[in-house]
Amino acid sequence: MANPQPWWKNAVIYQIYPRSFQDSNGDGIGDLAGIIQRLGYLESLGIDAIWLSPVYRSPQDDNGYDISDYCDIDPMFGTLAGMDDLIAEAKKHHIRIIMDLVLNHSSDEHRWFQEAKKSRDNPYHDYYVWRDGVEGTPPNKMRAAFGGSAWTWVPEVGQYYFHQFSIKQPDLNWDNPALRQELYKAIRFWMDKGVGGFRLDVIDQIAKDPDLGITSNGPMLHAYIRELNANTFGGTDLVTVGEAWGANVRNAPIFSDPRGKEFSMVFQFEHIGLDQIPGKAKWDLAPLQLSALKEVLTKWQVGLHSKGWNSLFWNNHDLPRIVSRWGNDGAYRQESAKMLATLLHGMQGTPYIYQGEELGMTNVAFPTIDDYRDIETLNMYRERTQAGYSEADILRSLHAKSRDNARTPMQWDATANAGFTDGTPWLQVNPNYTAINAADEVADAGSVFHYYQALIRLRKQYPIFSEGDFTLLFADHPALFAYQRRLGDQVMTVLCNFYEEPLTLPADAVAPLPLDTLLLDNYDTPADAAHFRPYEARIYLNNAE
Ligand code: TEU
Ligand code: CA
């Protein structure tokens, strides 16, 4: 039997995108030594673990999600010894390090692929997914996530290889048992170094069947995940989170079964797709309907309670900044950032904070495509330009959804380049760093930073945050997102005005609510229980014994 309450059930995890966090040597790229310098800041925020986006050896075609050696650190970030230091130093700050495993594909510069493309009888050939064909006529019409065909021709073997992402990210063939064992060996290498867990990139896509057009949730998926678990972290206290765009509320309990045969939890993205035109690309923007957000988040809260485990996130390195996306990054930046944090951190699951989210960092609107670096963005720009979209249209989509919105350097202070680097940053800092930065927010008790700190503290103090069940309140209200959590006699009520317009609830609707103790409010002047100022959010507890 698994421990009924593993550590990660009331943990808060902080995601670091290493190349954008802190540069220590002036080359304009964040690194491991830079992270070590900032551990004190992270400890003061109160987080339990860092999820580190990939720092393995990589040609950086997709910023490290293209790995050429699973057991080495890229010189750009440091060394293996530097990684040992980070693990040891973080431990002194009571912080665990979660590594990012990219097991669906490797880099085309990985030794395995270099061998695989030499000949069909090379022992590594079958580590990848190949199909016969004739040059110029790929096996089928499947498209890669970053544009173009999912098939690339290799003349040496007279075959196409399959890649769901870029040309430089060939998909690994999980049907090959030798490949699977190699990956398990790499995972054990990091376990022996004392890491605290793993985030598994696009793990629902490993069991693909390109002939049938199947990418996620292939028939062998759960068998492979169970074998992976049994050969590596199964039975340990490591936290594991599978990234699964194909997760739904029916299969998520399989991935995150409390008996621990697969992962601790998955990242699912149902709420993340709500502001795009259904069936179209993420670039095709549509306004968020609050009713849809309520419906999706409630479905997940109720659906996983006692059957699986939720991860709670608004942001990551692929997503736009939440305060710009569903809040108000102008006049009400602080209020709306705090409201969105309240809404998320009041729920059941493990909250994730993406670097800078705790400062209310915003999207960036670079004026030209030359300022962008992300492969997905650059490919999209090329494809849409060829397809006849206007420059203005494309830039509007990028300002809203480009992955570089999340990747501008961390804003530490108001000095040059936001204190991120002494050199030239690989991606420009957001010009708003003089107004939004960690130094100012740490010094200001009313800042977004201090509010996140308070939310984390409350989660540690009251088990109802991690254990209570969930009921949506005021389901049909057009502007209020409200819910109740219950644990025994305790009732916690979370009330969030999702918009700028103040709102007042009918007195008879508020009177029966058990609003005895105000735990947290994103305004510092006293609240009138029925009235909500712009983006006002409050958490109450009843006075149970
Ligand atoms: O992302 C998974 C993924 O499907 C992304 O392509 C996602 O759809 C896209 O970013 C949305 O715009 C993971 C990583 O998080 C991402 O950074 C990698 O590029 C990708 O896998 C390939 O490894
Ligand atoms: Ca550096």
Kindly give the confidence (pLDDT) of every residue in the chain, 545 residues in length, as a single tens digit, with 9 standing for 90 and above.
444 689 999 999 999 999 999 999 999 999 999 999 999 999 999 999 999 999 999 999 999 999 999 999 999 999 999 999 999 999 999 999 999 999 999 999 999 999 999 999 999 999 999 999 899 999 999 999 999 999 999 999 999 999 999 999 999 999 999 999 999 999 999 999 999 999 999 999 999 999 999 999 999 999 999 999 999 999 999 999 999 999 999 999 999 998 989 999 999 999 999 999 999 999 999 999 999 999 999 999 999 999 999 999 999 999 999 999 999 999 999 999 999 999 999 999 999 999 999 999 999 999 999 999 999 999 999 999 999 999 999 999 999 999 999 999 999 999 999 999 999 999 999 999 999 999 999 999 999 999 999 999 999 999 999 999 999 999 999 999 999 999 999 999 999 999 999 999 999 999 999 999 999 999 998 879 999 999 999 999 998 75
DSSP, collapsed to helix, strand or coil, labels residue 310 as strand
Nearest protein Cα to ligand 1, atom 17: 318
Which ligand is closest in space to the CA of residue 75?
2
Distance CA 362, CA 351 (A): 19
Distance of CA 361 to the CA centre of its chain: 16
The ligand that comes nearest to the alpha carbon of residue 172 is: 1
Q: Using an 8 Å Cβ cutoff, are 114 and 214 in contact?
A: no
Q: Which atom of ligand 1 is nearest to the CA of 62?
A: 19
CB 81 within 8 A of CB 32: no
The best mutation among 285, 318, 397, 398 to test binding of ligand 1, ranked by most ligand atoms within 8 Å of the C-beta, falls on: 318
Substitution candidate for ligand 1 out of 171, 201, 270, 280 with most atoms within 8 A of CB: 201
Nearest one of 140, 181, 146 to 129, comparing CA atoms = 140
Q: Which residues are near ligand 1 (CB < 6 Å)?
A: 62, 65, 102, 145, 165, 201-202, 245, 282, 317-318, 376, 403
